[in-house]
Amino acid sequence: MSELLTIENIGVTYGNIRALHDVSMHVKEGNIVCLIGANGAGKSTLLKAIVGLEPLVTGIISYKGTVIGNSQNSNSNKRRLIQLLNFRDKKKLHHGPKSLRTDEIASLGIAMVPEGRRVFADMTVEENLDMGAFLVEDEAMITKKKKEMYDFFPILGARRKQKTRSLSGGEQQMMAIARALMASPKLLLLDEPGLGLAPLIIQDIFEKIAIINREENVTVFLVEQNARMALKLSDEGYVMENGVIVLSDTSQALLENEKVRAAYLGE
């Protein structure tokens, strides 16, 4: 099984605060990989870095062998390197492949469902799905994908002309996932899909995620605070604390790990 996403020693800062420290991860094609950790551990920051919303101060992110994020392209990092090495001719400083813009990353086949869903509340369900297909130029394909989403999430089909603000939290989460799938991504990033939802709704959404992975052949990178459900759903898992990966293993091994059981499974 080949690597789809490779994260190598990346660092992200917010001002003088280091949010991520030398984070390295690998997501194999066809797998579900989860990242668990407490609030404020840096999980959402990592997803934002993958899609180009947070610049890297160290490290490289590659997708299918193509560099999509490169710390050497950071303006602040360039200045730091120039000062450190006392380069008089900035043109001689080699920076390697450029970081891609978020829309360029999306066009490669990466879609993200952000924390809190971030729906367009004053648009209808159908209009939200259209926004998810903004990179798709084939109108017939857009129509086909919308039908697929309405079949997969029947409640969305029933409410397609309703304003999104009128949907329940669970329905909005389903719509956010459907919106991300409109562009037929190969890698789906999910940031806390169970946040604030009732247990039965969370179970339903996690079952949908498993179907998307299995039947649509979409690789999933899942960030989730519900560690037990995330580890049961996934093939491999990582544990993050204070911006650092402290554990990585198969999900089954992490479920049986005493430290994980004590810290995240309430045992």
46-72: per-residue pLDDT in tens?
999 999 999 999 999 999 999 999 987
Q: Is the pLDDT of residue 179 over 60?
A: yes
CA 248 – CA 242 distance, rounded (Å): 15
Name residue 238's beta-bridge partners: 35, 248
Q: Tell me the pTM.
A: 0.87
* pLDDT at residue 137, rounded to an integer: 86
* pLDDT at residue 88, rounded to an integer: 45
Q: Which domains does the chain have, with CATH numbers?
A: 3-264 (3.40.50.300)
Q: Is the pLDDT of residue 95 over 50?
A: yes
Q: Is the pLDDT of residue 200 over 60?
A: yes
Q: Is the pLDDT of residue 265 over 70?
A: yes
Question: Considering the chain, what percentage of its residues have pLDDT values greater than 70?
Answer: 90
Q: Is the pLDDT of residue 74 over 80?
A: no
Greatest alpha-carbon pair distance for the chain in Å reads 64
- More confident of the two residues 65 and 92: 65
Write the pLDDT tens digit of every residue in 115-142. 876 788 889 999 999 999 988 889 999 9
Question: What backbone torsions phi and psi does residue 74 show, to the nearest 5 degrees?
Answer: -70, 130
Pairing of strands 3-14, 32-36: unpaired
**Amino acid present at 222:** L
Work out the mean pLDDT of the chain and round it to a whole number: 88
pLDDT confidence tier of residue 83, bands split at 50, 70 and 90: very low
Would you put residue 22 in left (φ > 0), alpha (ψ -120 to 50) or beta? left
Mean of pLDDT values over 199-216: 92
**Amino acid present at 129:** L
Question: What backbone torsions phi and psi does residue 94 show, to the nearest 5 degrees?
Answer: -85, 130
- Burial category of 249 from C-beta neighbours within 10 Å (exposed 0-12, middle 13-18, buried 19 and up): middle
Write the pLDDT tens digit of every residue in 210-256. 999 999 899 999 999 889 999 999 999 999 999 999 999 999 999 99
Q: Classify the C-alpha dihedral 60-18-74-45 as positive or negative.
A: positive
Write the pLDDT tens digit of every residue in 8-20. 999 999 888 899 9
Residues 6+ apart with CB under 8 A from 254: 231, 237, 239, 247, 260
* pLDDT at residue 82, rounded to an integer: 43
Q: Which residue has the tokens 């050497």?
A: 72
